[in-house]
Amino acid sequence: MAVLTRFLGDISLAEEAVQEAYATALERWPKAGIPPSPAGWIIATARNKALDRLRRESTRADRERAAQLLADQEESEEQEESEEHDVRDDHLRLIFTCCHPALASEAQLALTLRLLGGLTTDEIARAFLVPVSTMAQRISRAKAKIRDAGIPYRVPEVAELPARLRAVLMVVYLIFNEGYSASSGDQLVRPDFCDEAIRLGRQLAELLPEESEVIGLLALMLFIDARRDARAAGGNFVKLADQDRDSWNQLHIEEGRYLLRICLERNRPGPYQLQAAINAVHCDAPTTADTDWQQILMLYDQLMAIAPSPVVALNRAVAVAELDGADRALRLVDEIELPQYHLFHAVRADFLRRLGRSADAAAEYQIAIEKCANKMERDFLVRQYRSLADK
Amino acid sequence: MKQYLLSVCYPAGGSQPAPAALRKIMSDVTALQKEMQSAGVWVFSGGLHAADSATVLRHQNGDIVLTDGPFVESKEQIGGITIVTVADLDAALFWARKLASATTTPIEVRPFTEYGD
């Protein structure tokens, strides 16, 4: 897709051509056998289908375009050795196009999942709980805007790169978060979204190895994903402190540590690297009691200094509770404004419970339960709430 | 190359900036126009009188009827336009950013349709 989009300069045309090529493959491969390079075959076939179509539809402008493309093709065939390199560059171009700031963030997410994640419009619509027709319209509108507004299909220049990269990393991390903690529904985790985000993260790290935040994001996702199975044991949500640490994915943790060491050597900290470091500290502790909360608090302080947000302040308060007690932590939480976030209420309820203020804790758990849209997390909060009454 | 319309938007019925601020805006906008011209991207620029100076013509039963006032009463009005010819949206946004700083108003960027579109 990415290769063809560059070649044709039009995402919709590329998509139709790829679909036609797959249809031809379905007819031909069972009889003739699978060609030695299936991906290459699809690209070549789709390229020819698109050229045919441009010639057929033949307004003069299209014929001129087809002729130009044909000339370009002959030229590019001379450089077949760099083909693999081109494919990687094309992915990078496509992701920057999908995450262009002139597109609304929901359109960026949908386009990235559709064009780079290869998810169907149906799957994306289901994930975001909108009707399929709404999602189809959102995607086709975004594609039309890319074409009509002339959103370029290229990697931004050095001066623009940091700001543009931030948008790309945010889209990838949003996809990951939607997978790791489904914002709604019965399932706690959507593994396909996590895997897809990590795959995109790896791709970005391979394409932009000099960008420490790209490496940091990949490390962060690997650390969090390592706990994916432990977090949903036996169909129930398990909080970090109670997880079976032996079931954490050690390969992911090792890779995350390796990436984090690269970041440390470069010493260009950023929000994703710091969050990865915090998660590394959790992963380093053989038991919950061994967790180095001092180190975690220090990292949160650094994070608050470069990227302050109410969510970071809330997480910092959790570390404070471990070090200085729930009383101090509660005072910090009461200064944070996050009334719509269920975890804000869950954290506050937990502090109140620890302080023995059962009635206040119960009321707070009720709000948390009300605000929580994920069934498994809600069940967990209900269990916490009930255990309060048992005492 | 594509052409883009950069429109200067402002809320209807808003008050004019103070004279000193207005002088600064005018000189910044003029400087930017020169910059666009020497970069070879400038096609046209112009400021517009208020929307109530407009006249609308409509087809009606085979006749053309004139009405006094703007086509639509809207909360946002267009105070002026600039047209640039550039390679792509990123290049148009580069100039639009400068225009937004110079005018201190929102700028709407819209692509023109092309032959064959």
Domain annotation covers residue B117: no
Residue A316 has pLDDT above 90, yes or no: yes
Nearest to A145 by CA among A94, A107, A185, A193: A107
What are the φ/ψ torsions at residue B16 (nearest 5 degrees)? -70, 150
pLDDT, position A76: 56
Angle, vertex CA A311, rays to CA A309 and CA A314, nearest 5: 115
Neighbour count for residue A210 (Cβ, 10 Å): 8
- Burial of residue A348 (CB within 10 Å: 0-12, 13-18, 19+) is buried
Give the CATH superfamily of A309-391. Tetratricopeptide repeat domain (1.25.40.10)
Rg (CA), chain B: 16
The pLDDT tens digits of the residues spanning A17-29 come to: 777 777 777 777 7
The pLDDT tens digits of the residues spanning B96-111 come to: 999 999 999 999 999 9
The pLDDT tens digits of the residues spanning A51-102 come to: 777 666 666 666 666 666 666 555 555 555 455 566 667 888 899 999 999 9
Q: What CATH number is associated with residue B91? A: 3.30.70.1060
The pLDDT tens digits of the residues spanning B22-53 come to: 999 999 999 999 999 999 999 999 999 988 88
Contact B92 A150 (CB under 8 A): yes
pLDDT, position A365: 95
User: Which range, A14-18, A166-170, A346-350, is most confident?
Assistant: A346-350
pLDDT, position A252: 95
Is the full-model pTM beyond 0.95? no
Interface confidence (ipTM) of the complex: 0.83
The pLDDT tens digits of the residues spanning A219-272 come to: 999 999 999 888 887 778 888 888 999 999 999 999 999 999 999 999 999 999
Domain that holds residue B13: 2-111
The pLDDT tens digits of the residues spanning B51-90 come to: 888 999 999 999 999 999 888 877 888 999 999 999 999 9
- Burial of residue A204 (CB within 10 Å: 0-12, 13-18, 19+) is buried
HEC letters along B85-101: EECCHHHHHHHHHHHHH
Domain annotation covers residue B116: no
Q: Taking all residues of chain B, what is their mean pLDDT, rounded to a whole number?
A: 91
CB-based contacts of B110, cutoff 8 Å, min separation 6: A149, B4, B5, B7
The number of C-beta contacts closer than 8 angstroms across A and B is 31
Domain annotation covers residue B65: yes
Q: Which residue of A has its CA nearest to B111?
A: A149
A102 close to A163: Cβ distance less than 8 angstroms: no
- Domain(s) labelled CATH 1.25.40.10 in chain A stretch across 309-391
List the single best residue of A13, A151, A157, A158 to mutate versus B (max B Cβ within 10 A). A151
For A61, which of B109, B113, B116 is closest by C-beta distance?
B116
* Domains contained in chain B, number: 1
Taking CB atoms and an 8 Å cutoff, what residues of chain A touch B117? Answer: 148
Residue A391 has pLDDT above 60, yes or no: no
Domain annotation covers residue B66: yes
Helices within A149-235 (DSSP H only) = 161-180, 191-207, 212-226, 228-231
Reading the block at residue A219, the tokens are 């490390």
Taking CB atoms and an 8 Å cutoff, what residues of chain B touch A149? Answer: 89, 109-111
What are the φ/ψ torsions at residue A244 (nearest 5 degrees)? -80, 100
Q: Establish if A368 touches chain B: CB-CB under 8 angstroms.
A: no
Q: Which residue of A has its CA nearest to B94?
A: A160
Neighbour count for residue A93 (Cβ, 10 Å): 19
Distance, in Å, from the CA atom of A105 to the CA atom of A355, rounded to the nearest integer, reads 41
Confidence of residue A4 (pLDDT cuts 50, 70, 90): confident
Q: What is the mean pLDDT of residues A164-171?
A: 91
Taking CB atoms and an 8 Å cutoff, what residues of chain A touch B89? Answer: 100, 102, 149-152
pLDDT, position A20: 77
Distance, in Å, from the CA atom of A199 to the CA atom of A161, rounded to the nearest integer, reads 21
Residue A273 has pLDDT above 80, yes or no: yes
Domain annotation covers residue B100: yes
